[in-house]
Amino acid sequence: MICLGIESSANDFSVGIVDSNGHVLSLVTSSYIPPKGGIHPREAARHHAQSAPTILRRALEEASISIKEVDVIAFTQGPGLGPALRTGATVARTLAAYFNKPLVGVNHCVAHVEIGCLLLNMKNPLTVYVSGGNSLITRFEEGFFRVYGETLDIALGNLLDSFAQRAGLPFPGGPAVERLAKRSQRYIELPYTVKGMDLSFSGLLTHALRLLKQGVPIEDVCYSLQETAFAMVCEVAERALAHTRSDELMLTGGVAANQRLQEMLAAVAKEHGARFGVVDRRFAVDNGAMIAWTGLLAYQSGAVTPIRDSLVKPRWRIDQVPIPWRKHA
């Protein structure tokens, strides 16, 4: 069985084609890079609409199949930016209706976990998912993914991107901040905000920008920003790991590319005797293959999304999604 997945929740328009053996037949992405500032939802949507025909064609060509050979069409139904999601959903509905294929709406966060499990050969990891738009620590427990901790304001990637933008560094900010942080070892205290099991990054952003204005070298600010934010993530991950006694810890999302974060979480996993895995960059960032794979899992366990139920859900939480293909923890 073959599934074509469309991801369009933020700045990437991506199509992945996956078969039921878990082979990724193709993955093609076009990224919208904002000329300046953050992602404008309508500009992202415009980019997605313009890219869709080419990206679809290339994904089919790369997989060496025709659309007729596709059994299921999956798309990101949420969470994400409304206009961006709607563009991908429209393309998916059109394909499903015109070629008479079943349609499956997929939760973006669930898809990040499922593709990670496939690639890292993990069964039920505690997952740290940190990206431009999401930051959560989750694990499947009794029918649903449970959220053990999450950000109360901005996502970890958004913290790095916003800081970088205001510091005059290129977009996306994460790699730029990481590069500068490697040049410093001088830690300057910044607000460390863990509330219960949840995280807050906005105070950190304000203070880091203040340090910069006060003339603190940018390397030192980047270093301190990373150390503080990542330690917060590690604290919550560690407590969730101790609580769940999970023997697997997975790191995914765009920020997973950060070597310092990898190193810190690897130490947490080691301490608790858990196997640590970082999802390969190509599949850790937003991608259509994860949507295709999760769509396949859902379809094979009987889930379909009729067109009338296919409206996008920009605030669809991971802990609200039924997961019929995972029996029990």
* Binding positions for Mg ion, 144-203, rule CB under 5 A: none
- DSSP category for residue 170: P
Task: Establish if 34 lies at the interface with ligand AMP (CB under 6 A).
Answer: no
- Which residues are CB-contacts of 34 (< 8 A; sequence separation ≥ 6)? 11, 40, 43, 171
Binding mask 196-235 for ligand AMP (x = CB under 6 A): ----------------------------------------
Residue type, 185: Q
| Contact indicator for 12, 80 with CB cutoff of 8 Å | no
- Would you say 244 or 258 has its CB closer to ligand AMP? 258
Shortest distance (Å) from residue 27 CB to Mg ion: 14
SS3 per residue for 275-320: EEEECCHHHHCCCHHHHHHHHHHHHHCCCCCCHHHCCCCCCCCHHH
Give CA separation, 319 vs 86, 176, 284, in Å. 22, 33, 20
Per DSSP, helices labelled H in 153-217 are 156-166, 173-181, 202-213
For 56-80, give one letter per residue: b (16+ CB within 10 A) or e: bebbbeebebeeeebebbbbbbbbb
| Contact indicator for 190, 178 with CB cutoff of 8 Å | no
Beta-bridge partners for 14:
7, 29
* Binding positions for Mg ion, 261-300, rule CB under 5 A: 286
Q: Which residue of 6, 274, 285, 296 would you call a contact of ligand AMP, by CB under 6 A?
A: 285
- Cα torsion 41, 43, 44, 50: sign: positive
Task: Establish if 79 lies at the interface with ligand AMP (CB under 6 A).
Answer: no
Q: Which residue of 34, 82, 102, 175 would you call a contact of ligand AMP, by CB under 6 A?
A: 175
CA dihedral 45, 24, 1, 98 (to 10 degrees): 20
Q: Which range touches ligand AMP (CB under 6 A), out of 77-85, 157-165, 196-204, 210-218?
A: 157-165
Q: Which range touches Mg ion (CB under 5 A), out of 8-16, 89-97, 142-150, 188-196?
A: 8-16
Q: Which residue of 79, 116, 157, 288 would you call a contact of ligand AMP, by CB under 6 A?
A: 157
Task: Establish if 132 lies at the interface with ligand AMP (CB under 6 A).
Answer: yes
Task: Establish if 253 lies at the interface with ligand AMP (CB under 6 A).
Answer: yes
- Would you say 262 or 300 has its CB closer to ligand AMP? 262
Q: Which range touches Mg ion (CB under 5 A), out of 5-13, 114-122, 134-142, 264-272?
A: 5-13
Residues that bind ligand AMP (rule: CB under 6 A) add up to a total of 19
Task: Establish if 7 lies at the interface with Mg ion (CB under 5 A).
Answer: no
List interacting residues with ligand AMP (CB under 6 A).
10, 131-133, 157, 160-161, 172-175, 178, 253-255, 257-258, 285-286
